[in-house]
């Protein structure tokens, strides 16, 4: 079963469907407005290798990949930087190397219970994080830095692997990058990551934990305004977002705050 939210004549309505194909009948909204979005880093071997390649501090990512304790960090709070299907994601103006990071997101229920799975895009500046791992907050947290959707899957088997695909196109629709992986390649389980997140940490219900990426574009690729990112998980659907400047999104948010 898939839970989703969509735009209706009288506001936002909720619904359920049995298959992702049925979502095409609706103008989708963000499936949950998370009070907090958290991320787990370096949970796939490919992510570890990419971080080592980009970083001037070579050992830190290998150490965290092999460690018992995972890397966890807050991506957003109050849904200020998180968007839903069809809404624009941002890239930083002070970064010359930016990438989407397709991930499975765990939606948390009361008491941290696993309530569902969705698709997430942890948009990141590889240039800023690669300069110094202590800059991770700036590399990860900015306007339009996160997207989730299109729906929430309530799986029958939480351990069943999920295929994850990505496709990035340019303004003319030409394909710039495509790749695929599987959540079976994760070093840690969803339940293990959630257990670490909740240790001495009062995470509110409805929050989302993005569980890391196993898909990294080549080093000569950077995400730019005008691109479109599609992340496909067959059991959940497709999360599609156009790319704009984070400066544009920040200016828009400040303008709307003064209306």
- What are the residue boundaries of the structural domains of the chain, listed by start? 2-13+28-257
Q: What pTM does this model have?
A: 0.92
Backbone φ, ψ for residue 148 (5° rounding): -140, 150
Domain 2-13+28-257 has CATH 3.40.350.10: no
Check if the beta carbon of residue 217 is closer than 8 Å to that of residue 99.
Answer: yes
Per-residue pLDDT of 102-112, as tens digits, reads 999 999 999 99
Per-residue pLDDT of 20-78, as tens digits, reads 999 999 999 999 999 999 999 888 865 556 655 655 555 677 788 788 899 999 999 99
Check if the beta carbon of residue 207 is closer than 8 Å to that of residue 36.
Answer: yes
Dihedral, CA of residue 191, residue 145, residue 30 and residue 166, to nearest 10 = -70
Name the band, by pLDDT with cuts 50, 70 and 90, for residue 85.
very high
């Amino acid at each position: 079963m898939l839970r989703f939210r969509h735009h209706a004549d009288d506001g936002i309505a909720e619904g359920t469907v049995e298959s992702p194909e049925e979502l095409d009948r609706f103008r989708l909204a963000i499936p949950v407005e998370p009070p907090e979005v958290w991320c787990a880093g370096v949970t796939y071997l490919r992510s570890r290798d990419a971080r080592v390649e980009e970083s001037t501090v070579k050992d830190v990512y290998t150490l965290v990949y092999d460690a018992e304790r995972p890397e966890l960090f807050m991506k957003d709070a109050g849904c200020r930087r998180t968007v839903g299907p069809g809404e624009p994601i941002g890239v930083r103006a002070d970064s010359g190397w930016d990438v989407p990071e397709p991930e499975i997101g765990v939606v948390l229920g009361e008491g941290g219970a696993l309530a569902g799975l969705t698709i997430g895009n942890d948009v990141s500046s590889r240039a800023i994080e690669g300069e110094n791992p202590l800059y991770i907050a700036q590399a990860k947290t900015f306007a339009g830095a996160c997207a989730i959707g299109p729906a929430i899957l309530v799986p029958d088997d939480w351990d069943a692997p999920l295929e994850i695909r990505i496709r990035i196109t340019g303004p003319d629709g030409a394909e710039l990058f495509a790749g695929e992986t599987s959540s079976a390649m994760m070093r840690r389980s969803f339940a293990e990551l959630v257990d670490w997140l909740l240790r001495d940490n009062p995470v509110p219900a409805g929050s989302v934990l993005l569980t890391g990426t196993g898909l990294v574009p080549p080093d000569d690729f950077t995400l730019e305004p005008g691109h479109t990112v599609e992340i496909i998980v067959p059991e959940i659907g497709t999360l599609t977002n156009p790319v704009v400047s984070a400066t544009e999104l920040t200016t828009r948010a400040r303008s709307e705050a003064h209306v």
